[in-house]
């Protein structure tokens, strides 16, 4: 309250800051342990944002990139996790949330988490997808990387002796349990890689807990195994145990005994198989000999052998037909060639200078004849046209009009008088007739039509 008794209002920022200080000052919220299901998982720029929920409540959470880099398992939607962190308020939204410092799968051990993380990493790199190499059928030397005092080497030696193999077993003693095991396995693997005349490698140990088998899940061991120049058999733990080494190896054996059986041939089985193959081969050869004798007997009694000409009679006839066809085809082609040659000679003869000159003379003579005929016809046509014109002019001549009894009048100076108005009586005029002229004097004129009607 103010001095006047009126309430003092806080800003939203001030209220939010006050509540945030309450969260940060609470010793119970400074480090808490929470389990829940991951939901609404959304990584952004390295930082991880999610919610933790159970069947009754939900809290928002986030984890900074520097802390998330220490998480050894992939976080996924719906996963049950155990989180360690602090609760505080995020002022921009006014919401409280859990700031996670550490994160573990709920109910799953750290070794299992590391196993799954390494498995996913190597699988993504394709280390497990490399082509698997076949094991040699008859190895001369077999390298074994294991403890010199364990049951593995004894089982392998016993199995190899039982199978009567001639292969030599070369032991590379290694520590297979404890903190020094991984480096020991890597060292012995590299020693085996440079050993002369090894044909195949076995790496393994007996059963135990996941902690006991853990050296075979180390990344250094897996990558060194992937570099092996030799086919590699892995036999780690019992049949139900699976390690990273089993996934990298070319072949996984359930037990050391099985590994020795995979690496060595069974001499007794080979001898038995050879005997069986020999018996099968003998029976097959006997059957083929019997079949061959029967076929030979059939051939000996065949009519074709008694009358060999039957073998080539059909071919002989076919040869005759082909010969006739060849002769006919050759003759046709010769005739065609002769025709082509004659045509070519004719064209060549036409192209010779003498012949071309003769042809030119003939063409010139022919053209001259046609030109003279054309000139004659054109001259005749012009003469006829001239006659027609003369006749037409004759028909239009004034003399023809005079022959019909008409005359025309001219003045003394020869000017033709065409109208009465052109006469000035008394005036001397000349009358022109068909056969001559006459002189007359016009004494009077009267206008009017030739039929005697006067103009009005």
C-alpha to C-alpha distances, 177 to 75, 132, 150, nearest whole angstrom: 30, 27, 11
What is the phi/psi pair of residue 71, to 5°?
-75, 130
pLDDT bucket at 456, cuts 50 / 70 / 90: very low
> 170 or 402: whose pLDDT is higher?
170
The per-residue pLDDT for range 57-81, each reduced to its tens digit, is 999 999 999 999 988 778 888 788 8
Which whole number is the average pLDDT over 344-356? 77
The per-residue pLDDT for range 204-232, each reduced to its tens digit, is 998 877 778 889 999 999 999 999 999 99
**Least confident window among 49-58, 310-319, 355-364, 402-411:** 310-319
How many CB atoms are closer than 10 A to CB 123? 13
Q: Is the pLDDT of residue 452 over 60?
A: no
What is the phi/psi pair of residue 37, to 5°?
-100, 135
* % the chain with pLDDT above 90: 34
Q: State residue 1's pLDDT score.
A: 54
Q: What is the mean pLDDT of the chain?
A: 85
The per-residue pLDDT for range 252-291, each reduced to its tens digit, is 998 888 999 999 887 777 778 888 999 999 999 999 998 8
The per-residue pLDDT for range 300-349, each reduced to its tens digit, is 777 666 666 666 777 777 888 888 899 989 999 998 998 899 888 888 87
How many CB atoms are closer than 10 A to CB 433? 13
Say what the pTM is: 0.44
pLDDT bucket at 455, cuts 50 / 70 / 90: very low
Q: State residue 311's pLDDT score.
A: 67
Q: State residue 4's pLDDT score.
A: 66
Q: State residue 164's pLDDT score.
A: 67
Q: State residue 47's pLDDT score.
A: 92
Q: In what order do the strands lie in the sheet with 416-417?
A: 416-417, 408-411, 427-432, 437-442
Q: Is the pLDDT of residue 135 over 90?
A: yes
């Amino acid at each position: 309250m103010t001095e006047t008794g009126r309430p003092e209002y806080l800003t939203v920022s001030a209220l939010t800051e006050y509540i945030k200080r309450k969260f940060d000052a609470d010793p119970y919220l400074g480090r808490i342990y929470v389990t829940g299901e991951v939901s609404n998982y959304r990584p952004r720029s390295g930082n991880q944002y999610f919610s933790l929920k159970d069947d009754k409540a939900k809290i928002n959470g986030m984890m900074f990139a520097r802390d998330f880099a220490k998480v050894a398992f992939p976080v996924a939607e719906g996963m049950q996790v155990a989180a360690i962190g602090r609760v505080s308020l995020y002022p921009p939204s006014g919401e409280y949330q859990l700031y996670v410092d550490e994160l573990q799968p709920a109910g799953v051990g750290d070794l299992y988490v590391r196993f799954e993380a390494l498995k996913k990493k190597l699988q993504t790199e394709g280390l497990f997808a490399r082509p698997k190499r076949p094991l040699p059928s008859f190895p001369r030397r077999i390298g074994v990387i294991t403890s010199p005092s364990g049951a593995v080497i004894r089982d392998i030696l016993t199995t190899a002796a039982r199978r009567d193999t001639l292969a030599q077993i070369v032991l590379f003693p290694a520590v297979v349990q404890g903190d020094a095991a991984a480096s020991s396995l890597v060292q012995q693997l590299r020693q085996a890689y440079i050993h002369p005349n090894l044909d195949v490698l076995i790496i393994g140990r007996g059963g135990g807990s996941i902690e006991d088998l853990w050296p075979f899940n180390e990344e250094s061991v897996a990558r060194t195994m992937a570099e092996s120049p030799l086919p590699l058999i892995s036999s780690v733990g019992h049949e139900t145990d699976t390690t990273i080494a089993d996934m990298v190896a070319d072949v996984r054996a359930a037990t050391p005994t099985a590994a020795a059986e995979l690496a060595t041939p069974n001499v007794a089985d080979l001898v038995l198989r050879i005997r069986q193959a020999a018996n099968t081969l003998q029976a097959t050869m006997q059957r083929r000999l019997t079949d061959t004798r029967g076929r030979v007997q059939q051939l000996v009694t065949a009519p074709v052998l008694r009358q060999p000409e039957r073998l080539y009679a059909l071919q002989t006839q076919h040869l005759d037909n082909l010969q006739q066809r060849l002769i006919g085809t050759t003759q046709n082609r010769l005739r065609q060639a002769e025709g082509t040659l004659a045509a070519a000679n004719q064209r060549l003869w036409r192209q010779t200078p003498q012949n071309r000159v003769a042809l030119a003379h003939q063409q010139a003579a022919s053209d001259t004849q046609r030109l003279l005929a054309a000139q004659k016809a054109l001259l005749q046509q012009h003469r006829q046209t001239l006659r027609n014109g003369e006749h037409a002019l004759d028909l239009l001549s004034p003399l023809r009009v005079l022959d019909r009894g008409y005359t025309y009048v001219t003045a003394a100076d020869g000017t033709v008088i065409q109208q009465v108005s052109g006469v000035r009586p008394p005036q001397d005029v000349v009358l022109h007739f068909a056969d001559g002229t006459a002189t007359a004097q016009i004494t009077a004129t009267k206008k009017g039509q030739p039929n005697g009607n006067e103009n009005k």
